[in-house]
A and B are shown apart, each in its own frame.
Chain A
Amino acid sequence: MMLTVYRTLLRLYPAEHRELFGEEMLAVLREESDDHTKKKLLARGRFFAREITGLVNGALHEHFRAWIEIQDGLSLATGRFNMRNGFRFPKTTIVFMALILAGVVTAIKKGEDIAASVPNVDPPLPIHIQPVHSILLGGLPLFFAFFYAAGLIGWAIMFALRRSGTHRLDNMSAGQK
């Protein structure tokens, strides 16, 4: 019965940890349980409580650690970009991102040129062209909100893929080779 409880609690751990240590942990728990079968009820109760607390704490800690690793890997502020293989962008993404950035910069420059070419007369012309800065500043919060939302969706997709264990397929095919 206790082994069933342990097995259930082991499911609280991240899949990666379970793959690496699940069998071992269960074997150790089994050996420890065998040690305690002849002991007094109090000692057995203490052992049971210690193991359950340890497993729950350990699972929480591992989830937290995995989360920190993802955050750490995504952090550009620290100058590190050590994403795990499962989360790594294809190299072409960098090229596309650079192209998009170049496009945005060119568009801004063009906009500035157009704004500069319009004569600044008083009273203003009937067709008023809004300067590009004010367009950008006005839409800036919306601009950031859009990209923030896109980033969040991207992160959620990666997180969902990781939870589904898709990244393990890579290991499987690598192992088969």
Chain B
Amino acid sequence: MTLYDMSPKAIIESLPLSEPVLLILLSLAGQPQHGYSILKDVERMSDGRVVLSTGTLYGALRRLLDDDWIERFEEEETSRGRQAYRLTPQGRRNLQGEIDRMKNLTRLATLRVATKES
């Protein structure tokens, strides 16, 4: 089943995303990236806390491709073995959904902690 067949409720149920997957999607949010640049970007974004192995990265990319969150991006000048990926509109929408979910959670947490302190 692709996300195109999923109801908004089902999409919400696929959240929250794991941190590596979220970082991979964030890495692709700006521009199409190759596998190696995704690895480096994820490491940079997480300040070296999340270091993905190639096996883990391609496992995640495979799932995201299967679910139509990302797609292969054909470049004019691509050397052998370098394939770029980019977010699909559906993937971008879901990423935005996850960001909104996190924002709400953070706002709620801040409110609760502030109430407790006062």
Interface residue ranges, A against B (CB under 8 Å): 17, 20-21, 23-32, 50-51, 53-59, 61-62
Q: Is B59 an interface residue (CB 8 A)?
A: yes
* With A50-B51, A51-B54: A28-B59 Cβ-Cβ less than 8 Å: no
Cross-chain contact of A56 among B55, B61, B82 (Cβ < 8 A): B55
User: Contact at A57–B83, with CB atoms within 8 Å?
Assistant: no
User: What residues of B have a CB within 8 angstroms of the CB of A58 in the complex?
Assistant: 53, 55-56, 58-59
Cross-chain contact of A59 among B36, B52, B55, B80 (Cβ < 8 A): B55
Report Cα–Cα, A67/B58, bound state, in Å: 18
* With A17-B62, A21-B62: A28-B55 Cβ-Cβ less than 8 Å: no
Nearest residue in A to B79 (C-beta to C-beta)? A27
User: What residues of B have a CB within 8 angstroms of the CB of A30 in the complex?
Assistant: 81
User: Contact at B80–A29, with CB atoms within 8 Å?
Assistant: no
Q: What are 15 residue pairs bridging A and B, where the CB atoms are less than 8 Å apart in the complex? A: A21-B58, A21-B62, A24-B58, A24-B81, A24-B83, A27-B80, A28-B39, A28-B81, A32-B54, A50-B51, A53-B53, A54-B55, A55-B54, A57-B56, A58-B59
Contacts A50-B51, A57-B56 aside, 8 further interface pairs with beta carbons under 8 A come to A24-B58, A24-B82, A32-B54, A54-B55, A55-B53, A55-B55, A58-B56, A58-B59
User: Contact at A32–B58, with CB atoms within 8 Å?
Assistant: no
User: Contact at A61–B53, with CB atoms within 8 Å?
Assistant: no
| B interface: dominant SS | helix
Q: Closest CB-CB distance, B32 to chain A, in whole Å?
A: 14
Indicate with 1 or 0, residue by residue over B34-62, a CB within 8 angstroms of chain A CB atoms. 11100100000000000111111111011
Interface footprint category on B: 10 to 19
User: What residues of A have a CB within 8 angstroms of the CB of B61 in the complex?
Assistant: 21
User: What residues of A have a CB within 8 angstroms of the CB of B59 in the complex?
Assistant: 58, 61-62
Most buried by B among A28, A50, A54: A28
Nearest residue in A to B56 (C-beta to C-beta)? A54
Report Cα–Cα, A21/B83, bound state, in Å: 9
Nearest residue in B to A30 (C-beta to C-beta)? B81
User: What residues of B have a CB within 8 angstroms of the CB of A23 in the complex?
Assistant: 80-81
Report Cα–Cα, A132/B49, bound state, in Å: 71
User: What residues of A have a CB within 8 angstroms of the CB of B34 in the complex?
Assistant: 28
Q: Closest CB-CB distance, A10 to chain B, in whole Å?
A: 9
